[in-house]
A and B are shown apart, each in its own frame.
Chain A
Amino acid sequence: MFQKRIVVCLDVKEGRCTKGIKFKDNIDVGDPVEMAAKYYRDGADELVFYDITASHEKRGIMIDVVRKVAEQIFIPFSVGGGISTLDDIKDVILAGAEKISVNSSAVKNPSIIEEGASLFGSQCIVLGMDAAADPSMPSGYRVFINGGRKAMDLDALAWAKQAEKLGAGEIVLNSIDADGMKTGYELNLTKMISESVGIPLVASGGAGVPSHLTDVFKKGSADAALIASMVHFGDYTVADIKKHLNRERIAVRM
């Protein structure tokens, strides 16, 4: 039976994992390689690393993390953050990541999706999208870039459809309104985008308790759910969450 995926997200800044609330106030939560290995043992289905390193010179540290993770964990993982050229994509893929995600860079230059997909295949190219409710937009949601700081004149639903057409193989949809709040995923947004595209959708932002994942799979039509704070601070383990989902009759890898 095809299963819903639990994706653990690790924000990495200069080689260390951090976690922020609403994209701000980052605190150190550990070594990314050790954390990746722990989540792998706990039953995570996939990992996502976001490189939030500010300077370009320190990007090499991330490549080193990717290489080490690829040697130790045998589940898929993707890398996002600061990827804006084909060379960036190549560096990350060759270091051992399964996929890369583009976010702000794709809004500024949509052809990166097309070029990346033709070089490495659609399955390698993930569109990361930060969206927030805005009644003035056609779908009711607006796209933001630069870590949620800059509002764009771009509708979230229209952008998702365009990215699919350009060759994105998956969408990670982050709700800025829900991110870090632990009050649940933005179900309305998730359902609307997931049911409007033919590629898998990973819901992101807002998970605080296991029932939030039940909701996003049952009511939000998500194919995968991204979690961070829930597991980083020891409130839950991936195994706890999967047990809960299993009881709720949601197919997950046990």
Chain B
Amino acid sequence: MIGVVDYKAGNLKSVDSALSHLGAEFLISDKPEELLRCDKMIFPGVGEAKSAMEVLKSSGLGQAVREFALSGKPLLGICLGAQIVFDSSEERQTECLGIIPGKVKRFSSQMGLKVPHMGWNTIEHNNINLFKGVKQNSSFYFVHSYYIEAQSQGNIAASCEYGLNFTAAAVKDNILACQFHPEKSGEAGLQLLDNFLKLY
């Protein structure tokens, strides 16, 4: 059973649709004890880091995500969920969960690029199981104004270029994080989610 963390950060309908399409057994829950009983966790999220962290703290869901990560069971953070597993975010100077070492920084509009980074971009990945069957330079759908800078090269599972090179996906033991939206990235995204379901 996969637990999808519902902490009121954006819409879970697309994650719900993609998991249903793949035939996954899952539940969407805002109850820490229910989520901690699951075998895998998906930690999605769209929105702003500070208010998301406030909800995570007051609801006990942040603690549940941290506990789940420590338990060694597979966890996949998506978009804001991926950013929040890092140490901190420049978005309103937010202290995050600190599960993977690194920072979340804002794209500078001075680079002459439009912010948010919204649309399809290619990634280069390092062939971990999450990307099994996903070709190099496959396109994924991104929507974000802040990007992940993993502290250790060893935690970078995929990278992407948008004015600068940033961490598109990260891995640390049982913890996976992707900045893009696999649930909105067509067949490549479904492949990635299917890999998470079957290979972890």
Contacts and interface: CB of A to CB of B under 8 A. Distances in A.
A binds B: yes
Interface of A: 1-5, 40, 45, 70-72, 74-76, 93-96, 98, 120-124, 169-170, 198-200, 223-224, 253
A253 B185 CA distance: 11
B114 interface: yes
Contacts of B186: 40, 74-75
Interface string B5-27: 00000110110011011000000
B14 A170 contact: no
Interface stretch (B60-68, B97-105, B116-124): B116-124
Given A2-B119, A71-B21, 16 more contacts: A2-B162, A3-B120, A70-B14, A74-B183, A74-B185, A76-B143, A94-B11, A94-B13, A95-B13, A96-B14, A98-B143, A123-B118, A124-B46, A170-B118, A200-B114, A253-B139
A96 B11 contact: yes
Contacts of B141: 75-76
A148 to B, nearest CB: 26
A76 B184 contact: yes
A98 B79 CA distance: 14
Contacts of A122: 116
Most chain A beta carbons < 10 A, residue from B118, B161, B181: B118
A3 B142 CA distance: 11
B189 interface: yes
B47 interface: yes
Contacts of B189: 74
A45 B122 CA distance: 13
Contacts of B18: 74
Query: DSSP class of A's interface residues: helix, strand, loop or mixed?
Result: loop
Nearest to B185: A74
B17 A71 contact: yes
Contacts of A45: 119-120
> Is the interface on chain B under 10, 10 to 19, 20 to 34, or 35 or more residues?
35 or more
A121 to B, nearest CB: 5
Query: DSSP class of B's interface residues: helix, strand, loop or mixed?
Result: mixed
Interface string B157-170: 00001100000000
Interface string B113-149: 0111111111000000000000001010101000000
B39 interface: no
A76 B184 CA distance: 6
A198 B21 CA distance: 36
Contacts of B13: 70, 94-96
B139 to A, nearest CB: 4
A200 B119 CA distance: 9
Given A75-B186, A170-B118, A2 B161 contact: yes
Given A75-B186, A94-B13, A123 B21 contact: no
